[in-house]
């Protein structure tokens, strides 16, 4: 059973863009958790937050994490808050390698500025300092990544190559040294 590659990281670190290209390169199916939640609920993430609140969104997210954790051979782009719930991490780790994407607060700010309307946790008044604070508060959660890749100033293909190299390395180590926590 082929492991899933699970992309985690803060909003605007490139999970969806990188995930799509990575899946293409590895001939794997790509799943974007937020798009799946939108498909199933028939609402955009913003609508879901507005009409039913964050709690409802988080429970949809949890169901989706459980479901995807039972799948294999997927590249999964998670929402930035998936790792906040330990059950989500446990479910997705069962058959997944976690790739943590990172970016500087400035790069995150410029990427999310284009699509703030789709991100209920950010508003047009969100500042770099707000992003820095959120990043600091979440740092310990993103630390569950098996591999970490900084996307700041990197070309998409370079990021994808780096992930492929590291995933292969880790898969090799896990296969040959199953007792090591690598």
Q: Given the rule CB under 6 A, which residues bind ligand S3P?
A: 11, 15, 34, 45, 79-81, 119-121
Q: How far apart are CA 91 and CA 69, in angstroms?
A: 5
Q: Which residue is nearest to ligand S3P (CB)?
A: 79
- Cβ at position 177, least distance to ligand S3P in Å: 33
Burial label for 101, CB within 10 Å (0-12, 13-18, 19+), is buried
Cβ-based nearer residue to ligand S3P, 8 or 163: 8
Q: Looking at beta carbons only, is 14 or 160 nearer to ligand S3P? A: 14
Write down the least CB distance from residue 119 to ligand S3P, Å.
5
**Residue 118 DSSP symbol:** G
Whichever of 81 and 96 has its CB closer to ligand S3P, that residue is 81
CB of 78 to ligand S3P, least distance (A): 7
Minimal distance in Å, beta carbon 13 to ligand S3P? 8
Min dist CB 174 to ligand S3P, Å, is 27
Give 2 or 124: the residue with its C-beta nearer to ligand S3P: 124
Q: Which is nearer to ligand S3P, 28 or 142 (CB)?
A: 142
For residue 166, what are the contacts with CB-CB under 8 A and spacing of at least 6? Answer: 99, 147, 149
Distances (CA, A) of 32 to 12, 41, 49, 118, 174: 14, 14, 18, 14, 26
d(C-alpha 26, C-alpha 75), whole Å: 9
**In Å, how far from its chain's centre is CA 156?**
16
Distance between CA atoms of residues 68 and 91, nearest Å: 8
């Amino acid at each position: 059973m082929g492991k899933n590659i699970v992309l985690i990281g803060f909003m605007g670190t490139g999970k969806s863009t990188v995930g799509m290209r990575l899946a293409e390169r590895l001939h794997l199916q790509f799943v974007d958790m937020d798009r799946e939640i939108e498909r199933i609920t028939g609402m955009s993430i913003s609508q879901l937050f507005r009409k039913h609140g964050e709690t409802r969104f988080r429970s949809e997210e949890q169901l989706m994490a459980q479901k995807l954790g039972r799948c294999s051979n997927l590249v999964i782009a998670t929402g930035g808050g998936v790792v906040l719930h330990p059950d989500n991490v446990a479910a997705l780790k069962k058959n997944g390698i976690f790739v943590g994407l990172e970016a500087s607060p400035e790069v995150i700010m410029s990427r999310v500025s284009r699509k703030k309307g789709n991100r209920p946790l950010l508003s047009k008044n969100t500042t770099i300092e707000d992003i820095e604070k959120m990043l600091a508060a979440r740092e310990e959660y993103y630390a569950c990544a098996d591999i970490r890749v900084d996307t700041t100033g990197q070309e998409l293909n370079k990021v994808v190559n780096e992930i492929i190299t590291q995933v292969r390395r880790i898969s090799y180590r896990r296969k040959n040294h199953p007792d090591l926590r690598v």
